A and B are shown apart, each in its own frame.
Chain A
Amino acid sequence: MLRKRLLALLGLLVIASMTLVACGGTDVPAAPSVETVEVIVTEVVEVEREAFTTPHPILSDLKVRQALAYCTNKSDLLKSVYPLISDEARAGLVMDTFIPKSHWAYAGDENVTIYSYDPDKGRALLDEAGWTLAEGADFRTNADGDELSLKFTTTSATFRQTWAAIWEQQMAECGIRIVRLHAPASWWFGDTTGIARRDYELGAFAWVGQADPGGQTLYACDQIPFPTNGWEGQNAMGWCNEAASTNIKLANNTLVQDERIAAYTVVQQEFTKDVPSIPLFNRTETFATAADLTGFAPTPGQEYYNYNVQEWARPGQDTIILGFTQEPASLFTLVEDAFVANIAYQIVRPAQEWHLNYEFTNSPITKELPTLENGGTTNNDVEVSEGTKVVDVNGDVVELAPGVTVKNAAGEEVEFTGGTVTMKQLVSRFEIADGVTWEDGTPVSSADLELGYKIACDPESGATSFITCDKTANVEFLTDAVGYIQTWVPGVQDPLYFVPVWPIYPNHQLGDVPAAEWATNPLVAETPLSYGPYKLVEWVKGEKMVFAANEHWVGGAPATPNFVIQFVTPESAESLLLGGEVDILASESLAGLTQALVDAEAAGAIKTYTEAGGTWEHIDIQLFIR
């Protein structure tokens, strides 16, 4: 028996050796192995047509889309999810375009088509479109007898289930059958599933509104994702309106505020005329604090509500406790951009700019933002020739070569044929405020900004996007002040040119650490050196982050000497606030205004704040089918 087993083992060894020989061993190279990439020409499966070029049989009809909009009662949807806020506050949340009404870029009610709730008008439009309601029937049909039935996809979040159920009823009242699919967020927002693959007829989700409305990747014709373009672009609806497309690009590529407003107005006009999407409402942001907390002032447009954390105080308390339902994964915000990570990071390293009421201003650690108006930025004419790195008319960074189309200094689109072409080049001088000092007493220097640039542009750092690095022609670090001169690649005409570009990292502490090690280095990820109002003293995983006043903070001593972020659970958050274990629960930790919070506020135990947040819900309409 034993002999048989030994023979079998020997046999296996012989086969293994023969396999190795057959594989043809190669000599071990003396130099370290370098990752090689080989382009393989693969057989492409024949397809009969390009995907998403056939208009949707129902939704490509403008009358149907307008009917959907007229049949939508946004106020009732809001009531379903925010039953406790006032009617006035509710009215302020309704969205008619992709820009909030209080935003500087909003076109104004008179310049857009507003679809106020009018089911009769909606029904009439559907009749005109050939979708009629037979006597006794609940849902409309067309001449072929097909029912007006649409698949509606969104996440399974309770919030969306609530308003979607009401919307389904509203559509049913107009004779439209809505088949709801509440998919897991992981599928809906997945990289290769859901929205990313245009896998919906009607799809609801939210965009986060910002001080700058952006929108180029959402509404431009060349931003429609297709299988053939690697699904690049975010215009998943497939909406292509030439006027809107041209103006959204203009709005994102001109430096003149008035021109931007005019361009955004055109886009909003076309957007509301074509109805590729139904904007619904801004989500609210609810905050609840101890009744006697002072200094807490969340402001629309300012993403990080703790921008003035140094002013927060409670009488008789030496510690302020902020409850967080999510623990930051890392404080290396170059790779970890979760909201909670940024909130925690702001405490030790405040942002270089603020967005109070959607307006950009410098924060206490920076000098005036460099604009064209104040002379901090110049938009120079430069001559470029073949081989120069430029930004073409599509916004891509390319080497100038014959056939490349660029915008010349006069703003005309020209195809490069050789020789030279004059283009615009932005140059900005960014400066850090005097007296900004690390918690160990070392003054912040230009070398710290240089390290920020080096790490942000090193692919080994693990950062997600390097587009800013690609668009940078040169960075000159100042010796006469703390700051740098940023020279963009010719053709970059980013309207946010005045926003500081590079992070500040302590060169004296981390200057020798290779970029590849930053993500795992505790000095980066867990205990970043502070130049902010507080320094991070201790991070007890799963429990809390403890901060103490930074005596070197440029703004003087904070109002409260200690600050703690306490990690709580969504289930426990309210009881911990009411029980006095935490002082503040912010919007990311509260599901909204609840009866318990309203009652506690009435009893004088807490104070609540409800504001329109930047995030807005909408229903996108798929205009094409596969």
Chain B
Amino acid sequence: MTVFYIRRLFQMALVLLISAIATYTLLNFAPGGPLAGLRQIQQTGRFQITEDDIARIRAYFELDLYLPYRFMRWFVGWPTGPVEIGGREYFSDVVVGCRKPVETEVLNDDGEYEIQVTGCNELVYMKDLTGRRVSRGIIRGDFGLSWRLLRDRPVSELIISRLPKTIQLIGLSTLLSLFIGIPLGIYSAVKQYSRFDYIFTSLAFMGSAMPTFFFGIVMILLFSLIPKEAGWLYVPAGLSESVRGYTIPLLGEVAAGSVKDRILHLILPVAVLTIVNISYYSRFVRGSMLEVMRQDYIRTARAKGLLERVVIMKHALRNALIPFITIVVFTLPGLFSGAIITESIFAWPGMGRLYLLALGDYDYPVAMAIFFIIAVLTVIATLLRDVLYTIVDPRIRLS
């Protein structure tokens, strides 16, 4: 068992390293970044971008460093300058980047002219890194500074500001989905081909097939805008709380920011996510239950004269839920990553929206931090799933 955990930890570290390198490289090769659009601002007597300005801005965001050094500084917060041993400096003159690349038109193998970086007018050396701002490294929990969304301030500050709302939304909808979805799935499986089963299965298919985007808009119309206009009971169309008080028929005055206000704002986004999840969870449980109910040990349990309730709850459900563990543990990264579409439709200030904004605004430090944390939570969830399997199914041994 101990060997398994040690091996697993190494595997997890390796997976994280590879995913970090891959995502960092991909994002860094993507066009955009802090300089995007700068040349699209018309230059005037009061605003001019020169080659020196470009070089300065590139250096400010470390874009003048070669990718491996940039990655290392982001990942482990090193190198920060020459290595100092015994009062002497080493690697001072190692070239780590280029401040002003030379671009030249060259003839490529296809006989076409293309512009390539062919040299460098100002190199950056290891000794130039001394005194430059640098994070302590993402593996030490320092995600660096935001490029765009919270310019020059810690990425962690952004994440912390959004995380509670996402946990609130995803946590609540996941719990509700589990509490409603599992019994529905069991009941549908036990009553296979009954009228309930047909209706439930049809609704579940509809729920899982309907795009969240469309579903959310329909919900806003049906439960917010139309009833409000008609003077009926309604729920707010979006946001996590109101800025000023309002009155809802039957419910009366609602103070801005009150518990009542917050609960009312949770209803629509939670409902959308819950309904979509229920259709997924319940169909999974139903399928799994049907599989288990055909097993010999269920027949044996019934032959022993056990009550049907005991057969279902004790013998069938426990075995049917084993594959369900995979689904449940992988809600862990979901708690962090949020629900991009639902958060957008309801203007919910969560992680999903932050992630979308980070990619749209080329705020790669924020996007990378989210990627990395999701990767960490995914590998943790994988480990958790393996451990949980051994608990719920004694036949499984980790070795």
The CA-CA distance from A47 to B118 in the complex, in Å, is: 12
CB-based contact B106/A45 at 8 Å: yes
The CA-CA distance from A231 to B346 in the complex, in Å, is: 44
Query: Which single residue of chain A is at the shortest CB-CB distance from B118?
Result: A45
Q: SS class of chain B's interface: helix, strand, loop or mixed?
A: mixed
Whether A571 is near chain B, meaning CB under 8 Å from some CB there, is: yes
Whether B2 is near chain A, meaning CB under 8 Å from some CB there, is: no
Please give, as numbers and ranges, the residues of chain B lying within 8 Å of A196 by CB-CB distance. 39
CB proximity of B124 to chain A, nearest CB, Å: 8
Query: Contact flags (1/0) for B106-130 with A, using CB distance below 8 Å?
Result: 1100000101101111110101101
A317-B244, A462-B60, A541-B162 are known contacts; what are 5 more A-B pairs with Cβ within 8 Å?
A: A35-B131, A36-B125, A234-B42, A465-B46, A492-B45
Query: Contact flags (1/0) for B175-216 with A, using CB distance below 8 Å?
Result: 000000000000000000000000000000000000001000
Q: Which of B35, B113, B345 contacts A569 (CB 8 A)?
A: B345
Whether B377 is near chain A, meaning CB under 8 Å from some CB there, is: no
CB proximity of A313 to chain B, nearest CB, Å: 14
CB-based contact A36/B353 at 8 Å: no
What 8 A-B pairs are tightest by C-beta distance, nearest first? A42-B119, A186-B32, A25-B88, A542-B349, A541-B161, A579-B237, A572-B347, A191-B35
Query: Contact flags (1/0) for A33-69 with B, using CB distance below 8 Å?
Result: 1011111101111011001000000000000000000
Q: Please judge, given known A-B contacts A496-B45, A541-B158, A576-B238, whether A569 and B118 are in contact too, CB under 8 Å.
A: no
Query: Contact flags (1/0) for A179-223 with B, using CB distance below 8 Å?
Result: 000001111011111011100000001011010101111100000
Q: Which of A40, A197, A217, A519 contacts B123 (CB 8 A)?
A: A40
CB proximity of B243 to chain A, nearest CB, Å: 5
CB proximity of B230 to chain A, nearest CB, Å: 13
Whether B225 is near chain A, meaning CB under 8 Å from some CB there, is: yes
Query: Which single residue of chain A is at the shortest CB-CB distance from B241?
Result: A543
Query: Contact flags (1/0) for B141-181 with A, using CB distance below 8 Å?
Result: 00001101111110001100110010000000000000000
Please give, as numbers and ranges, the residues of chain A lying within 8 Å of B329 by CB-CB distance. none
Whether B362 is near chain A, meaning CB under 8 Å from some CB there, is: yes
Chain-B contact segment, one of A101-109, A142-150, A329-337, A365-373? A329-337
CB-based contact A321/B152 at 8 Å: no
Query: Contact flags (1/0) for B30-72 with A, using CB distance below 8 Å?
Result: 1111011111101111111111011011001000000000000
Please give, as numbers and ranges, the residues of chain B lying within 8 Å of A43 by CB-CB distance. 118-119
Whether B296 is near chain A, meaning CB under 8 Å from some CB there, is: no
CB-based contact B224/A575 at 8 Å: yes
CB-based contact B49/A541 at 8 Å: no
CB-based contact A568/B238 at 8 Å: yes
Please give, as numbers and ranges, the residues of chain B lying within 8 Å of A332 by CB-CB distance. 151
Q: Please judge, given known A-B contacts A544-B243, A566-B243, A581-B238, whether A464 and B349 are in contact too, CB under 8 Å.
A: no
Query: Which single residue of chain B is at the shortest CB-CB distance from A573?
Result: B347
Please give, as numbers and ranges, the residues of chain B lying within 8 Å of A184 by CB-CB distance. 31-32
Q: Please judge, given known A-B contacts A40-B123, A572-B344, A579-B224, whether A471 and B236 are in contact too, CB under 8 Å.
A: no
CB-based contact A571/B344 at 8 Å: yes
Please give, as numbers and ranges, the residues of chain A lying within 8 Å of B33 by CB-CB distance. 191
Whether A474 is near chain B, meaning CB under 8 Å from some CB there, is: no
Whether A137 is near chain B, meaning CB under 8 Å from some CB there, is: no
Chain-A contact segment, one of B96-104, B270-278, B379-387? B96-104
CB proximity of A50 to chain B, nearest CB, Å: 8
Q: Please judge, given known A-B contacts A576-B239, A581-B236, whether A51 and B39 are in contact too, CB under 8 Å.
A: no
Chain A residues numbered 422-468 whose CB sits less than 8 Å from any CB in chain B: 459, 462, 464-468
Whether A623 is near chain B, meaning CB under 8 Å from some CB there, is: no
CB-based contact B344/A321 at 8 Å: no
Q: Please judge, given known A-B contacts A569-B353, A626-B113, whether A329 and B119 are in contact too, CB under 8 Å.
A: no
The CA-CA distance from A313 to B316 in the complex, in Å, is: 65
- A–B Cβ pairs within 8 angstroms, 22 of them: A33-B127, A35-B130, A35-B131, A42-B120, A43-B118, A227-B105, A464-B49, A465-B47, A465-B48, A467-B47, A467-B48, A520-B145, A525-B152, A541-B150, A542-B162, A542-B350, A571-B345, A572-B237, A572-B344, A575-B224, A581-B236, A581-B239
CB-based contact A190/B88 at 8 Å: no
CB-based contact B56/A459 at 8 Å: yes
Please give, as numbers and ranges, the residues of chain A lying within 8 Å of B35 by CB-CB distance. 190-191
CB-based contact B237/A330 at 8 Å: no
Chain A residues numbered 246-266 whose CB sits less than 8 Å from any CB in chain B: 252
CB-based contact B39/A193 at 8 Å: no
CB proximity of B26 to chain A, nearest CB, Å: 13
Q: Which of A28, A212, A234, A525 contacts B43 (CB 8 A)?
A: A234
Please give, as numbers and ranges, the residues of chain B lying within 8 Å of A234 by CB-CB distance. 39, 42-43
Whether A27 is near chain B, meaning CB under 8 Å from some CB there, is: yes
Whether B81 is near chain A, meaning CB under 8 Å from some CB there, is: yes
Query: Contact flags (1/0) for A136-158 with B, using CB distance below 8 Å?
Result: 00000000000000000000000
Query: Which single residue of chain B is at the shortest CB-CB distance from A184?
Result: B31
CB-based contact B42/A567 at 8 Å: no
Whether B246 is near chain A, meaning CB under 8 Å from some CB there, is: yes
Query: Which single residue of chain A is at the shortest CB-CB distance from B30?
Result: A186
Please give, as numbers and ranges, the residues of chain A lying within 8 Å of B165 by CB-CB distance. 542
Q: Which of A336, A465, A569 contacts B347 (CB 8 A)?
A: A569
CB-based contact B244/A25 at 8 Å: no
Whether A85 is near chain B, meaning CB under 8 Å from some CB there, is: no
Q: Which of A28, A190, A566, A579 contacts B84 (CB 8 A)?
A: A28
Please give, as numbers and ranges, the residues of chain B lying within 8 Å of A217 by CB-CB distance. 42-44, 48
The CA-CA distance from A471 to B46 in the complex, in Å, is: 9
Whether B220 is near chain A, meaning CB under 8 Å from some CB there, is: yes
CB-based contact A252/B119 at 8 Å: no
The CA-CA distance from A213 to B90 in the complex, in Å, is: 55
Please give, as numbers and ranges, the residues of chain A lying within 8 Å of B131 by CB-CB distance. 32-33, 35
CB-based contact A329/B84 at 8 Å: no
Q: Which of B49, B99, B157 contacts A465 (CB 8 A)?
A: B49
Whether B331 is near chain A, meaning CB under 8 Å from some CB there, is: no
CB-based contact A520/B243 at 8 Å: no
The CA-CA distance from A230 to B115 in the complex, in Å, is: 12
Whether B92 is near chain A, meaning CB under 8 Å from some CB there, is: yes
The CA-CA distance from A575 to B353 in the complex, in Å, is: 18
Whether B232 is near chain A, meaning CB under 8 Å from some CB there, is: no
Q: Which of A192, A520, A570 contacts B153 (CB 8 A)?
A: A520
Whether A1 is near chain B, meaning CB under 8 Å from some CB there, is: no
